[in-house]
């Protein structure tokens, strides 16, 4: 039995969502997002703050730009980057909250296990 039109549309949306998740699945790119939360920055500022090469920052920014996470504008010799949509920051914050919840559950489970062994 073939897929319905809605199922095909959903599959495309899932694929697009996975592509955005892939670009966000890198600690350096998440760090860039959080740094840009404070306002626009150029590559040199990001590289210095992150203590990585300008080439590395540029590669990460290129991927983020390709997926629509950041945008750029050129002023003289500098290219400034900004977050395209604040919801990317909200998404990163939400994932961080989920991670903290999981860590808290792990700590609670560990405490329970350790108290049983005593």
Q: CA-CA distances (angstroms) from residue 72 to 41, 82, 99? A: 9, 6, 30
What pTM was estimated for this model as a whole? 0.81
Topology at the third CATH level for domain 5-84 = Arc Repressor Mutant, subunit A (1.10.10)
- Res 2: pLDDT: 61
Question: Is pLDDT at 118 greater than 90 in this prediction?
Answer: no
The closest of 34, 36, 40 to 95, measured between CA atoms, is 34
Question: Is pLDDT at 51 greater than 60 in this prediction?
Answer: yes
**Tokens standing for 85?**
């949509």
């Amino acid at each position: 039995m073939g897929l319905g039109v809605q199922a095909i549309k959903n599959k495309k949306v899932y694929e697009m969502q996975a592509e955005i998740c892939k670009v966000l699945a890198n600690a350096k790119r998440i760090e860039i997002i959080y740094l840009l939360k404070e306002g626009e920055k150029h590559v040199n500022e990001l590289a210095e703050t992150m203590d990585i090469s300008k080439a590395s920052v540029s590669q990460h920014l290129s991927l983020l730009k390709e997926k629509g996470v950041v945008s750029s504008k050129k002023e003289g010799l500098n290219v400034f980057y900004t977050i395209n949509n604040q919801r990317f920051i909200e998404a990163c914050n939400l994932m961080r909250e989920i991670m903290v919840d999981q860590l808290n559950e792990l700590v609670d489970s560990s405490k329970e296990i350790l108290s049983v062994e005593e």
